[in-house]
Amino acid sequence: MASPPRSRRDVLRALGVGALAIGDIKYRVHTGLLGRMHATDSPVYLSYPEAFEMAREIVADRL
């Protein structure tokens, strides 16, 4: 488990990924990735590239 920030400088180094920090896109990405994991019997390893690609697909569908 991560320890709390020790100083303001530690907090300022935090990283958020644009619209994925909060909101509907984040919810849809999480739901989609969990759906991919649930749909298979073998382990699925997902990371930032997969989440980013899914976010792009979701945004493209809205245009």
Per-residue pLDDT tens for 16-59?
555 556 688 888 998 999 999 999 888 888 888 999 999 999 98
Tokens matching residue 38: 């649930």
Q: How many residues does the chain have?
A: 63
pLDDT of residue 28: 92
Q: Is the distance from CB of 48 to CB of 15 less than 8 angstroms?
A: no
Q: What is the pTM of this model?
A: 0.61
Judged on CB neighbours under 10 Å (0-12, 13-18, 19+), 52 is middle
